[in-house]
Chain A
Amino acid sequence: MSDNELVNQQFPVKVEQPGGSGNIFARVFDELTAFCRSRSLFILHYCTGCGAIELPPAMTSRFDMERLGISPMVSPRQADILLITGYVSVKTLKRVILTYEQMGSPKYVIGICSCTVNGGMYWQSYATAKKLNDYMPVDLYIAGCMPRPEAVITGLRQLMENIRRGEANGWQDYYQRYDHYLGHQQRLFGETWQTPTDVIAEAKHYGLFSNETLGEHTKLLQQHQKPLEALEMRLGLDSKDKVEP
């Protein structure tokens, strides 16, 4: 095999099926990967609201989440868990969805705070989205206003356990029922809503394409979708704000 062929080869992504049948020795490796995956997680914290303040103590010496194998990460590309800590306004929600779609799979979402569950004390606010799981799959909610670091740690441990058992499959749901999520997003953001990520192509890539991936909402999306264009590179100031000596 030449080098070129190697590069062009796609790496197959293994989708665990809990309780799957077949060769028991194959399951050993699945379980091993799931175990390893659950023990090394990077979290990206999208700190939208007040609840974020419980994360520093959860991360640092007293509760020390790194001893669980979880550590913070600054970029969505490297992160496994997206923590959404608090109310999501409509404006923020767009950014949250963008961030989520940029994360590589498998990816997990934790909604921290009551506000992500039902709008919390902003239930009557015109700007705050209630029910985060309408817009993106949420693997776990940690309720509370705000949840204590102990609760955060407990939630993370629960997520680790779910990953180990192959039950944290929200990300697959996003590909499989993309039309459902997109519909909710369009309801809030208008029908011209789009992100640069081609979720449908990704769904095919991961082999998670199902008959609910496409639907009326994705049709609407395809009407409006503009292909991604490279940003123009420019050096120096625009002529209008050029400073005359």
Chain B
Amino acid sequence: MSETHLPVERLSIILGEFKDVRVRKRGDRRTRVDVEPDALPALLELLKGRSGFVHLSAISCVDWPDDDQFELVYHLWSYELQLLVSVHTRIARDPGVYVSVYDIYHPAGFFERDIHEMYGVFFEGAPDMEKFILTEWDGPPPMRKEFDSEAWVNDHFDWQNYRPDWLIELEQQGGGIVIPPDEQRFSRRGMQEPDDES
């Protein structure tokens, strides 16, 4: 116990150097830190340099269209403390530009490129903002909440014909699909939501 105690204290000293940092303990090994966007690179630098959070395991992005913001989450792991710190920050959705942390953590290059193509966030100073997975995609960034993937699917693809002629014959004889396809439609768009009474 006492072994891990000291570095954890070191972590809280580092976090204490920042104002406007909100620290919430989420479990034995998880800590959530909320920080302003302009303080984030400095915080990452300190976490890496002074308390051994050398592993950036991912950067994730959350879209909050109602607040007009993107939330970026940097997941940092320390082998020494065996502790996961996730640093959250929120940036404006428009124009959706933030700084790259590639010079602190090189793996960030991949995550930022991915977020760029999925959400359209541009990272200044990133080594490469070219397409990564969606190399043949020319639509809007598909993970943004306003992207209506169902509408996209409906105008780019055709659906399987669930009532081919041979099935209609079967249906006339009393067989076939029990629930007709238009009723068992995957899509619930435009349908009334059932009342939550139960």
B28 interface residue, CB < 8 Å from A?
Answer: no
B contacts, CB < 8 Å to A: 134-137, 139, 142, 147, 149-150, 152-153, 156-160, 186-187
Chain B residues near A134 (CB-CB < 8 A): 158
Chain B residues near A131 (CB-CB < 8 A): 157-160
Residue tally, chain A, CB below 8 Å to B: 18
A118 interface residue, CB < 8 Å from B?
Answer: yes
Q: Are B152's CB and A126's CB within 8 A?
A: yes
Chain A residues near B158 (CB-CB < 8 A): 130-131, 134, 184
A74 interface residue, CB < 8 Å from B?
Answer: no
Q: Are A124's CB and B160's CB within 8 A?
A: no
Query: How near does chain A come to B76, taking the closest CB pair, in angstroms?
Result: 31
Q: For the complex, what is the distance from the CA of A134 to the CA of B134, rounded to whole Å?
A: 23
Nearest opposing residue in chain A for B137, CB measure: A127
Chain A residues near B149 (CB-CB < 8 A): 124-126
Q: For the complex, what is the distance from the CA of A124 to the CA of B156, rounded to whole Å?
A: 11
- Total A-B residue contacts, Cβ distance less than 8 Å: 42
Q: Are A125's CB and B153's CB within 8 A?
A: yes
Q: For the complex, what is the distance from the CA of A241 to the CA of B158, rounded to whole Å?
A: 46
A129 interface residue, CB < 8 Å from B?
Answer: yes
Chain A residues near B150 (CB-CB < 8 A): 124
Given contacts A126-B152, A130-B159, 14 further A-B contacts (CB under 8 A): A124-B149, A125-B153, A126-B139, A126-B142, A127-B142, A130-B153, A130-B157, A130-B158, A131-B158, A131-B159, A131-B160, A134-B158, A184-B158, A187-B156
Q: For the complex, what is the distance from the CA of A134 to the CA of B160, rounded to whole Å?
A: 9
Chain A residues near B147 (CB-CB < 8 A): 126
Chain A residues near B157 (CB-CB < 8 A): 119, 129-131, 188
A contacts, CB < 8 Å to B: 90-91, 94, 117-119, 123-127, 129-131, 134, 184, 187-188
- Residue of B137, B147, B158, B160 with highest tally of chain A CB at under 10 A: B160
Chain B residues near A123 (CB-CB < 8 A): 153, 186
- Residue of A117, A118, A127, A188 with highest tally of chain B CB at under 10 A: A127
Query: How near does chain A come to B20, taking the closest CB pair, in angstroms?
Result: 38
Could you write out 13 A-B pairs with CB less than 8 Å apart?
A91-B136, A118-B159, A123-B153, A124-B187, A126-B139, A126-B147, A126-B149, A127-B134, A130-B160, A131-B157, A131-B159, A134-B158, A188-B156
Nearest opposing residue in chain B for A129, CB measure: B157
Nearest opposing residue in chain A for B157, CB measure: A130
Chain B residues near A130 (CB-CB < 8 A): 153, 157-160
